[in-house]
Amino acid sequence: MIGIELLYLRLHAVHKNSADLRHAVELSQRSLRSLRARRFSFLCGDAGPLALGAVAFLAAGELLQLQPAVMRLDSDIPDELLYGRAGYLYALLFVQTKLGPDTIPKDKIIEVSNAMLDSGQALARTERRSDRCPLMYAWHGKQYVGAAHGLAGIYYMLMQPGAGVSEESLTELVRPSLDYLRHRRMRSGNFPSSLGNDTDRLVHWCHGAPGVIHTLLLARTVFKEEKYLREAVECGDLIWQRGLLYKGYGLCHGTAGNGYAFLALYRATGDQRHLYHACKFAEWCLDYGTHGCRIADRPFSLFEGMAGTIHFLLDMLDPNTAKFPAFEL
């Protein structure tokens, strides 16, 4: 439901149709009635409905009421993006972006970022990796690498300009940890799903190079080093070879999520080759249901289903013509 609500908000932003906003508000009212205070992230917890509710109703107070639980380092709350502190941080930054910089107090955001830094340093010390990787994170006992549950997604959120991480922490904690992650890249150019796992099978946003690309591109902006861009482009080459997925069309482990990697590469470089690749993946998605792909467990959801696919296709449209962009190779 929350993914469809986000889609209606996106459609309203594009088309300015009041009916889309009305649908979003109606879905928000329904989702807010079903909160259970069990999970706290944007994508898979209470923070998502509250963040979208804040945007729809111009209120953010209830979202901040989750923060004391999120801050407890002695709890079983993870740090990853789908269910953990990184997902809650995303919700805070989402509301701030939509409603203005004063909507969420900056000190509240910094508190969450600092909790993530403290948690990562604690596990790095426990694992005796502090000298190589100052920030280490685990989910269900595994040290995942990718965007959904792993290091790439957490580092990506810590590098966000609005996260309030100090220059010192970025330089001494985040950067060497990211470089440790980079060196886990396999000979093919892909990344394993978790540390110690050498299986080169998954080419998804959630596990594999497509999710790590976004972290590398942001690192290039933050740390001003071209090595991050070079490696992101190499990841893109791998996705072009192996990224049309019969697993589905969605964002998490589907072709639309992989197409976003090309769109990110194009926006970072201006190279028309990446735009061409993104358009080809979008064309595959437009032929929805004709490739024998697996039907998602939640076929209309944001991350598995059609809502996420439509988000990707909307992002591919030229805002001036409402068509796929024209380009020359």
- Summarize the annotated binding site for Zn(2+) as residue ranges: 206, 252-253
In contact, 153 and 80? CB cutoff 8 Å: yes
In contact, 98 and 56? CB cutoff 8 Å: no
In contact, 314 and 6? CB cutoff 8 Å: no
Amino acid letter, 67: Q
**Binding site listing:** 206, 252-253
Spatial CB neighbours of 109, under 8 Å, sequence gap ≥ 6: 89, 92, 93, 96, 162, 163, 164
> 3-state secondary structure string, the chain?
CHHHHHHHHHHHHHHCCHHHHHHHHHHHHHHHCCCCCCCCCCCCCCHHHHHHHHHHHCCCHHHHHCHHHHHCCCCCCCCCCCCCHHHHHHHHHHHHHHHCCCCCCHHHHHHHHHHHHHHHHHHHHHCCCCCCCCCCCCECCECECCCCCCHHHHHHHHCCHHHCCCHHHHHHHHHHHHHHHHCCCCCCCCCCCECCCCCCCCCCCCCCHHHHHHHHHHHHHHHCCHHHHHHHHHHHHHHHHHCCCCCCCCCCCCHHHHHHHHHHHHHHHCCHHHHHHHHHHHHHHHCCCCCCCCCCCCCCCCCCCHHHHHHHHHHHCCCCCCCCCCCCC
In contact, 51 and 94? CB cutoff 8 Å: yes
